């Protein structure tokens, strides 16, 4: 039997330290978990800790006095810069999967974070893990550490981890977060991959038209002017357009860049985002895709929160924050207000404009049977399939539409240039 020194936490209680006897570190961790604690660190007690702590304190003071001020200021600045850079969804899912695996293997949270930090290459992800490691080392819970990085970890993740820490089922909660994150990543990946080809086709076609009008057709304009022939109206229009583009193509590019920047700024403003989100819900094909995507995210988020014991009002508030469309988010917020006044979720859905009857009826059945978490997760799986089909249908329709539109534009330009050539050839004969 060996003696182990531990640092543990349970729910909102303060961090507790002490020692216990166990055959191994994993046995000590299991014993602490059976007692309802969440192990932060568990290390073998050798009796030399006090001496080493004194040495560390004295050496730390000497280093603090001897270290130049430039070094102490430069390190936090670099760390802050790295921490503020964006972390991808793929990286976040990898972090939770690795952390869940290490904790399930019996490793304390502090040691697991240290292991992940050491095996992660330098960059924004490692800086984030290092920040979590420092927060937990100073006595914070994992949920408190996640809460300090709202740019990386949504409120939903913080609430789930906090519930898992309080209930002593942190590994199970982390695996649910992994499943949720990977399903979200898969859904986004399908949408992005489906839109790559239509976007590529649009860019290439637009670039081809731009080159024709700006650099090729102006040469034909000079030929037509030399012959001084009477030209058709469509040719005169294309000639005027080509003349302008030949001289001011750079101004057109600047104007397009300014327009794109303005639209992006308008999209980020509250009024602009609301108006565009309203537009998406009115377009014939896009509206169905947006509604299905939001319903899938709504059902999966709410079901995951319910399964982890998060209160209904808190679950609705967190779910509303995860939705992308402003209009549907406001409807969920009204659901929360109705539930706080005693109404059921399904009753509030019936008053909303963008909750399909299928969703309303399934929620009503889930509330009656008391299995709302399970029912909503199955609903999310069904809507994931619907989103996949809708994306494929929209992209399958977009491709021929883009080809036809660009074909008509190019054909119009070519005909406008060929008609004068036919007229000139008849005049020559």
146-150, 225-229, 284-288: least confident range: 225-229
Residue 253 has pLDDT above 70, yes or no: yes
Please say whether the dihedral angle defined by the alpha carbons of residues 347, 348, 353 and 355, taken in this order, is positive or negative.
Answer: negative
Quick one: pLDDT at residue 258?
Answer: 93
CA 105 to chain centre: 29
58-67, 232-241, 272-281, 415-424: least confident range: 58-67
Rounded to two decimals, the pTM is: 0.62
Burial of 410 (0-12, 13-18, 19+ CB in 10 A): middle
For 197-234, the pLDDT digits (tens) are: 777 888 887 888 888 777 777 777 667 666 666 777 88
Residues 6+ apart with CB under 8 A from 37: 8, 9, 10, 16, 168
Average pLDDT, the chain: 77
Q: What is the DSSP string of 138-203?
A: TT--HHHHHHT-TTTS-HHHHHHHHHHHHHT-HHHHHHHHHHHHHHHHHHHHHHHHHHHHHHHHHH
Residue 380 has pLDDT above 60, yes or no: yes
Query: What domains appear along the chain, each with residue ranges and CATH number?
Result: 1-67 (3.10.20), 178-429 (1.20.81.30)
CA-based nearest residue to 323, from 156, 84, 159: 156
């Amino acid at each position: 039997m060996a003696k182990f020194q531990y640092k543990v936490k349970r729910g909102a209680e303060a961090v507790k330290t002490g020692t216990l006897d166990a055959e191994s570190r994993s046995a000590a961790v299991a014993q602490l978990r059976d007692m309802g604690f969440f192990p932060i660190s568990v290390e073998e007690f050798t009796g030399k800790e006090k001496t080493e702590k004194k040495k560390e304190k004295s050496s730390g003071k000497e280093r603090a006095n001897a270290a130049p001020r430039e070094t102490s200021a430069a390190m936090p600045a670099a760390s802050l810069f790295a921490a503020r850079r964006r972390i991808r969804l793929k990286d976040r899912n990898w972090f939770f999967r690795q952390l869940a695996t290490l904790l399930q293997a019996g490793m304390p949270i502090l040691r697991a974070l240290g292991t992940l930090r050491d095996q992660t290459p330098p960059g924004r992800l490692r800086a984030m893990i290092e920040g979590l490691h420092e927060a937990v080392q100073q006595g914070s819970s994992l949920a408190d550490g996640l809460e300090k990085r709202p740019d990386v970890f949504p409120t939903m993740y913080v609430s789930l981890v906090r519930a898992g820490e309080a209930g002593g089922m942190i590994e199970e909660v982390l695996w649910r977060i992994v499943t949720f994150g990977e399903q979200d990543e898969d859904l986004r990946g399908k949408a992005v991959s489906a839109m790559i080809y239509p976007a590529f086709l649009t860019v290439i076609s637009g670039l081809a038209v731009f080159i024709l009008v700006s650099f090729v057709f102006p040469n034909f304009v000079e030929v037509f002017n030399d012959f001084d022939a009477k030209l058709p109206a469509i040719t005169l229009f294309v000639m005027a357009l080509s003349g302008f583009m030949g001289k001011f193509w750079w101004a057109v590019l600047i104007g397009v860049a300014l327009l794109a920047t303005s639209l992006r700024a308008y999209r980020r403003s509250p009024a602009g985002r609301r108006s565009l989100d309203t537009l998406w819900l009115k377009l014939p094909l896009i509206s169905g895709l947006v509604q299905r995507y939001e319903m899938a995210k709504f059902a999966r988020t709410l079901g995951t929160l319910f399964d982890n014991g998060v209160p209904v009002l808190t679950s609705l508030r967190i779910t509303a924050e995860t939705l992308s469309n402003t209009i549907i988010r406001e409807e969920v917020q009204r659901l929360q207000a109705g539930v706080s006044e005693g109404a059921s979720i399904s009753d509030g859905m019936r008053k909303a404009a963008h909750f399909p009857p299928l969703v309303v009826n399934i929620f009503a059945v889930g509330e009656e049977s008391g299995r709302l978490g399970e029912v909503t997760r199955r609903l999310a799986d069904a809507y994931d399939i619907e989103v996949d089909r809708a994306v494929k249908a929209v992209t399958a329709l977009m491709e021929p539409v883009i080809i036809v539109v660009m074909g008509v534009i190019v054909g119009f330009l070519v005909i406008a240039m060929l008609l004068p050539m036919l007229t000139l050839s008849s005049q020559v004969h």
